[in-house]
Structure 1
Amino acid sequence: MIKIYNIRDNTLKEQGKFTKGSWINVVNPTKEEIDTISTYLYIDEQDIESVLDADERARIEVSRNYGVIIVDVPIASAEKNEIYQTIPIAIFFTEEYILTVCVEELPLLEKMIKDSSRKDINTSTPNLFILQFLYNNSILYLNFLRKIDKKSREVEKELNESLSNSELLHLLALEKSLVFFKVSLKSLQPVLEKMTKLTSIQFTEEEKALLEDVIIEHNQAVEMTEIYSGVLNGMLNTSASIISNNLNNVMKTLTSITLIISIPTVIGSFYGMNVLLPIQDDPFAFIYILLGSTFMSLILTIILIKKKLF
């Protein structure tokens, strides 16, 4: 799918043809669409196809005709056992066009389009467009990391009373999300460092300031990922023991209850025998037996409570 955007009335508007200063957004392109883009923009087909590989790593390359930067973008996963994952997106830039290629539609790009009127998104300035995208991408990482932290706290509360593995599986999913984030953020770090040293790309003072902001937000995301990953590892190491202890406590309680209710059961079974027993002819025998059983059960309950077995 190919969509072309350009700035009209300070807002990104979709249009039907390639014009100078436009942004071409390509999602999961077919072979024919790749051929069209390659022919019109003079971009190597292999470079376009490379980003369709989910394992493509972040990098930046600048050639004579165009440049390309590939980064990973965090998204909410559609799979049941995963919470977040990352997918690569390529941003190609020439003097006249910006081209983005990804295997699926990104909420991040949709948000940039929606907010274009108040965020000054400019498709005619590739450097600024790329830096704005990288900044928004770093903010998205931070937002998702805060959500992961919030969910881990919720799971931790549930874990204190849990007897099943559902909370443990939830923690594993959160940890998997952090692994994806850690790998993606680490791979982006040398790309940002390279951008500060590239002589083939000339940044304005405004763009240099924005690049510094991108690096600051990115470093914060890296640090938060490391911290949350360490916390989750600690929770995972103790979660199995917590679940086991909770189960042991339940079994201990059930055993204590069984012991307590066994006293009237045993006494009642004695008096159910067809043999001579004390006070069996007394008209108040049932009351005596009931009171005696209750008293003995109460004594046993007090003993178990004092020994913290109940």
Structure 2
Amino acid sequence: MITRQEINGKAPLNYNWFDVTELDDNDVSQLKRLFRFTPEIIGYVSDKQERPRYDYDSHTQSELVVYDVPLWPNTDTAHFTTRPIIFLLQGTTIFTFHTNETAYVFEQFKHDSIKDIKSTTEFIMTFLLHAAKYFNQALDKLNNERNQLDKNLNNTIINKDLRKLAQIEKSLVYLASSIKTNLMMLESLRHTPLTSQITKEAQEKLDDILIETEQSSRMAQISNEVTEKISTTSNNILNNNLNDIMKFLTGWSLLLTIPTIITGFYGMNVKLPLESTPLAWITITLLTTFFMLGLYIYLKHNDFL
């Protein structure tokens, strides 16, 4: 769906903004007919897996900016993922392309104070600065969840908590990768036509975005390292507990083997010692107890029990 956006109840004075949500065949036809979009541009803006980058088409005088934003976990995906938002700039007209999943960024952006934006470049920088904060929010949420899991794992390690920890690790991989590619794209903007005639306000916003993204990148790296160490430590403790259980069960299996062997001998239909003794049962029981006690002392001394 193609919508011409208004800011604070009126269209921007110096530029036009068209927002495209869930691009479909009907939208493609309109973009080709009304705005002369080429098949190459259509291929770019319709790619939901496009990586963050900047591209300039000298033939159509179009500038493409792709920026990733985080998607919160839902019923289908238990961890954070990311999706691109695409900006296409043609002269004084700017197009934004996104899905319903990333619509939350636009909804909150429209409620912010953006009435003083005077150019398309400043619009893009303002939007990117607005979108950058969501990575910090996602990382804060993951850190809080990890800290709570860490407390639980200090008491009792259960599979449910380990699965949650694994989801946090997956989330950090997605977020860290997108933040890194976003940062590479933002750094490359300094040497592109988009910023060749950038205003002072837009330049300040670009500097703020770079600082914000660099902080997010370091935060994601630190969070990932901490989470990996907690996961490794928890797995080591879990494996050690399993080894202790297996040692304990093995030790008692050996102890219970002794009466099994002795009673097995005396269950055979052959002549055996003590067979005719009146106190044979007591003697055999005492003998079995003696061997079991000796083995128990040996296993205990060697930390098998």
The alignment-based identity, stated in percent, is 24
Matches within 5 A, 1:249-260: 249=244
Partner of 1:196: 190
Are 1:4 and 2:4 an aligned pair? yes
8 A Cα contact 1:6 1:123, kept in partner? no
Matches within 5 A, 1:100-139: 100-102=96-98, 104-107=99-102, 109-114=103-108, 116-117=110-111, 119-122=112-115, 125=118, 126-139=120-133
Q: Give the whole-Å Cα distance in 1 for the aligned partners of 2:161 and 2:5.
A: 45
1:131-190: CA deviation from partner (whole Å, max 9, x where unpaired): 12211222111111111122222256378432x37614642x222222222222222223
Partner of 2:141: 147
3-state secondary structure, aligned to 2:86 = strand
3-state secondary structure, aligned to 1:178 = helix
1:33-87: CA deviation from partner (whole Å, max 9, x where unpaired): 1121233233334323324334322111234533220111111244656410111
Q: Give the whole-Å Cα distance in 1 for the aligned partners of 2:136 and 2:195.
A: 30
Query: 1:3 is aligned with what amino acid?
Result: T
What value does the CA root-mean-square deviation take over the aligned residues?
4.6
Are 1:67 and 2:60 an aligned pair? no
Are 1:24 and 2:18 an aligned pair? yes
Partner of 2:172: 178
Q: Give the whole-Å Cα distance in 2 for the aligned partners of 1:19 and 1:129.
A: 10
Matches within 5 A, 1:1-310: 1-9=1-9, 21-62=15-56, 63=58, 65-78=61-74, 80=76, 82-102=78-98, 104-107=99-102, 109-114=103-108, 116-117=110-111, 119-122=112-115, 125=118, 126-153=120-147, 154=149, 157=153, 160-162=156-158, 164=159, 167-168=162-163, 170-171=165-166, 173-197=167-191, 200-205=196-201, 207-249=202-244
3-state secondary structure, aligned to 1:29 = coil
Q: CA deviation at 1:258?
A: 10
Partner of 2:270: none
Q: 1:133 to 1:305 in 2, by over 3 A?
A: farther
Gaps of 5+ in 2: 255-298
8 A Cα contact 2:109 2:127, kept in partner? no
The 10-residue stretch of structure 1 (125-134 or 230-239) with the greater mean CA deviation from structure 2? 230-239
Gaps of 5+ in 1: 11-17, 260-303
8 A Cα contact 1:66 1:93, kept in partner? yes
3-state secondary structure, aligned to 2:85 = strand
Q: Give the whole-Å Cα distance in 2 for the aligned partners of 1:4 and 1:159.
A: 56
Q: Give the whole-Å Cα distance in 1 for the aligned partners of 2:114 and 2:145.
A: 33
> Normalising to structure 2: TM-score of the pair?
0.70
Q: Give the whole-Å Cα distance in 2 for the aligned partners of 1:252 and 1:161.
A: 19
3-state secondary structure, aligned to 1:24 = strand
Q: Give the whole-Å Cα distance in 2 for the aligned partners of 1:132 and 1:41.
A: 25
Runs of 4+ residues deviating >4 angstroms: 248-259, 304-310
Q: CA deviation at 1:210?
A: 1.2
3-state secondary structure, aligned to 2:236 = helix
Q: 1:166 to 1:199 in 2, by over 3 A?
A: closer
8 A Cα contact 2:109 2:130, kept in partner? no
8 A Cα contact 2:65 2:88, kept in partner? yes
8 A Cα contact 1:22 1:97, kept in partner? yes
Q: 1:161 to 1:247 in 2, by over 3 A?
A: same
Q: Give the whole-Å Cα distance in 2 for the aligned partners of 1:52 and 1:180.
A: 21
> Normalising to structure 1: TM-score of the pair?
0.69
